[in-house]
Amino acid sequence: MIELSNLTKSFNSGQPNQFTAVDNVTLAINPQQITVLKGPSGSGKTSLLSMIGCMARPTSGRIFLRGVAAALPFRQDGADAVEITSLPERFLNEIRRSTFGFIFQQFNLVKGISVLENVMLPAYPTGEGRAEFRARAVSLLEQFSIARLASQRVELLSGGELQRVAIARALINNPSIIIADEPTAHLDSKLSHEFMEIVGRLKGEGKSVLIASHDPIVFDSPLIDTLVEMRDGAIVASRSCR
């Protein structure tokens, strides 16, 4: 469960080119559901996602994470919610690493290293034994039926394969929330449908999924639970699709 209250993010504050990307957003995102943020580019979807995903800190407002606190080595006054906006970067990271998995528009795979290494990359700094996360990565690749590509370099993959590698990478640290930013922007319709299928499977495994998209295949999909429409940094509509 993620709660946002009065969240604002502005850039270049105090300067003439000040620009507010997210403006006073209050929202609750339910666990184990698929939530889609819909809106044209520049509507603040990405900024909102990066704040929820502990990548950026809001200028003002607060974000509470519920249900993840127990897994963390520190807690604020015994509550089960963590207020993440005031945490220093190293703590945000710890939360991010254990709680969120990310899928990016460009897939953002590291060139020059193998598929398997790309999938394992988020686990490197956790200090987990290599053998353990390697086994997990291999089984993820098998699950997405790309195990045969394990030792190949990512430059040589097709779009659909790239996408599946990116999803496998997002899952390596066993996160409870998956965040995807315009995941279908570079995919054709067939692959986009396939992506939504995978997302549905993830939901079935008990993961929460948060997608920002302006692709009808995504926001018209029967799988989604909540649709949030954004424009100019603010929420214009939010409805449940169930």
Partner 1 sequence: MILQPAVLALLLIALLVAGMGIYAGYYGMRILGQWDPASGSEGQLELERRTYLVSTIMSYILSFELMSLFLFIYTADELHPLFTGAMCAAGTLAVNSFGYPALIIKVVNFLLAGVWLIVNYADNRGYDYPLIKVKYELLNLLVPLLVLEGVLLFAYFAGVKPDIITSCCGSLFSHESSGFSGDLAMLPHLPMQIAFFSGMAVTGASGLFFYIRGRAGYLFSISSTVTFLVAVASVLSFICLYFYELPTHHCPFCLLQKEYGYIGYFLYATLFGGVVAGIGTGVLMPFRKVGSLIRIIPAIQRRLVLVTLCCYLLFTLITGWKMVFSALTLG
Partner 2 sequence: MKRAIERHLNILEFTLASLLRRKAKNFSLLAMYLMVVFMLASLQFFVTALKREAAIILDDAPDMVVQRLTAGRQDLVPTGHAAEIARIRGVTAVRPRLWGYYYDALNGANYTVMAGDDTSAKTESASIGSGVAKARNLAVGDLLPLIGYDKAPVMVEIGTIFPSGSDLIAADLIIISPANFQRLFNLPGGQATDLAVTVRNPKELATVAAKIAELFPGSRPILKSEIQRTYQSVFDWRGGMTLMILASALLSFIIFAWDKATGLSAEERKEIGILKSIGWETSDVLLLKFWEGIVISLTAFLLGTILAYGHVFFLSAPLFVQALKGWSVIYPRFQLVPVVDAYQLAVLFFLTVVPYTTATIIPCWRAATTDPDAAMRY
Q: What is the 3-class SS of the chain, one letter each residue?
A: CEEEEEEEEEECCCCCCCEEEEEEEEEEECCCCEEEEECCCCCCHHHHHHHHCCCCCCCEEEEEEECCHHHCCCCCCCCCEEECCCCCHHHHHHHHHHHEEEECCCCCCCCCCEHHHHHHHHHHHHCCCHHHHHHHHHHHHHHCCCHHHCCCEHHHCCHHHHHHHHHHHHHCCCCCEEEEECCCCCCCHHHHHHHHHHHHHHHHCCCEEEEEECCHHHHCCCCCCEEEEEECCEEEEEEECC
Judged by beta carbon, residue 30 or residue 108, the one nearer partner 2 is: 108
Q: Taking the complex as a whole, how short is the minimal distance between the CB of residue 119 and partner 2, in angstroms?
A: 10
- Distance of alpha carbon 229 from alpha carbon 24, whole angstroms: 14
146's tokens: 């790309």
- Distance of alpha carbon 124 from alpha carbon 108, whole angstroms: 17
Judged by beta carbon, residue 116 or residue 227, the one nearer partner 2 is: 116
Q: Taking the complex as a whole, how short is the minimal distance between the CB of residue 211 and partner 1, in angstroms?
A: 25
To the nearest 10°, report the CA torsion of 76, 31, 202, 56: -50
Q: Taking the complex as a whole, how short is the minimal distance between the CB of residue 239 and partner 1, in angstroms?
A: 30
Catalog residues that contact partner 2 under the rule CB under 8 A: 46-47, 49-50, 53, 55-56, 89-90, 93-94, 96-97, 100, 102, 104-106, 108-113, 117, 121-130, 169, 173, 181
112 binds, among partner 2, partner 1, none (CB under 5 to 8 A by kind): partner 2
Judged by beta carbon, residue 71 or residue 79, the one nearer partner 2 is: 71
165 binds, among partner 2, partner 1, none (CB under 5 to 8 A by kind): none
Judged by beta carbon, residue 57 or residue 134, the one nearer partner 1 is: 57
Q: Taking the complex as a whole, how short is the minimal distance between the CB of residue 127 and partner 2, in angstroms?
A: 3
Judged by beta carbon, residue 18 or residue 30, the one nearer partner 2 is: 18
145 binds, among partner 2, partner 1, none (CB under 5 to 8 A by kind): none
Judged by beta carbon, residue 63 or residue 168, the one nearer partner 1 is: 63
Catalog residues that contact partner 1 under the rule CB under 8 A: 11-13, 57-60, 74, 76, 85-91
Q: Taking the complex as a whole, how short is the minimal distance between the CB of residue 96 and partner 2, in angstroms?
A: 5
Q: Taking the complex as a whole, how short is the minimal distance between the CB of residue 167 and partner 2, in angstroms?
A: 13
49 binds, among partner 2, partner 1, none (CB under 5 to 8 A by kind): partner 2
